[in-house]
Amino acid sequence: MTLKKVVELIDGRMLTGDDSLRTTVSAGCGCDLMSDVLSFAKSGSLLLTGLNNLQVIRTAEMAEIKAICFVRGKTPTLEMTEMAREKGIALLETKLPLFESCGRLYQGGLVGCSIQID
């Protein structure tokens, strides 16, 4: 699924530039516990989280996550945004809660990390 489609489904907004809209993610992972992200997220996926600190960017880099969507209206700091750009990780935001965001994406065709199709 492209990030453009993700943005449409969750009434979101790109934070790292519209040039990322064509980026494709293979699965979604909704989580606030970064140790679980490291255990269960798949390379190339989209992380949806309400956690808002630099550890999210570092974890995404280690897990080879392509994009992070901050839910519940959370906005990353400038430092987080700069680090994500350096690492090639796209950032999005939505006002929707985590559960609804994940539900809309799943209903729209994005699979979860447990059933990722390569």
Cβ 46 vs Cβ 110: under 8 Å: yes
Domains, the chain? 3-112 (3.40.1390.20)
pLDDT digits (tens, 9 = 90+) for 81-98: 999 999 999 999 999 999
State yes or no: pLDDT of 80 exceeds 80: yes
pLDDT digits (tens, 9 = 90+) for 25-65: 999 999 999 999 998 899 999 999 999 999 999 999 999 99
Spatial neighbors of 8 by CB under 8 A, at least 6 apart, are: none
